[in-house]
Amino acid sequence: MSDSMRSQAIVAPAAGDWIRLGHEEGIGDVVAEVLPRRTAIVRRDPAEDVVEQVLVTNVDVVGVVAAVDRPRNVARLERFLVLAADSGAEPVIVLTKVDLGLDDQWRELGALVPDVPVLHTSAVTGIGIDDVAALIAEDRTLVLLGESGSGKSSLVNTLVGEDVQATKEVRAGDAKGRHTTTARELVVIPGGGVLIDTPGIRGVGLWDAEPALERVFADIAQLGEQCRFSDCSHRVEPGCAVRQAVDAGHLDGWRLDRYLRLRAELDEQAEQREQRRRKARGRRRR
Residues forming contacts to ligand GDP in the complex (CB under 6 A) are 96-97, 99-100, 122-124, 146, 148-154, 200
> By rule CB under 5 A, what count of residues binds Zn ion?
5
What whole-number distance in Å separates Cα of residue 160 and Cα of residue 129? 10
Q: Which of residues 208-227 bind Zn ion (CB under 5 A)?
A: 227
- Please report whether residue 234 would count as binding Zn ion according to CB under 5 A: yes
Return all residues near 120 (Cβ < 8 A) that are at least 6 apart.
95, 98, 102, 127, 128
Nearer to ligand GDP, 4 or 154 (CB): 154
Nearer to ligand GDP, 36 or 149 (CB): 149
Report in angstroms how near the CB of residue 272 gets to ligand GDP at its nearest: 32
Residue 183, burial from CB neighbour count under 10 angstroms (0-12, 13-18, 19+): exposed
- Please report whether residue 97 would count as binding Zn ion according to CB under 5 A: no
Answer for which of 242, 246, 251, 256 binds Zn ion (CB under 5 A) is: 242
Report in angstroms how near the CB of residue 71 gets to ligand GDP at its nearest: 16
Nearer to ligand GDP, 161 or 253 (CB): 161
Nearer to ligand GDP, 124 or 260 (CB): 124
Answer for which of 61, 195, 240, 262 binds Zn ion (CB under 5 A) is: 240
Radius of gyration of the chain (CA): 21
Report in angstroms how near the CB of residue 70 gets to Zn ion at its nearest: 34
Report in angstroms how near the CB of residue 132 gets to ligand GDP at its nearest: 12
Contact region with Zn ion (CB under 5 A), list: 9-17, 130-138, 211-219, 229-237: 229-237
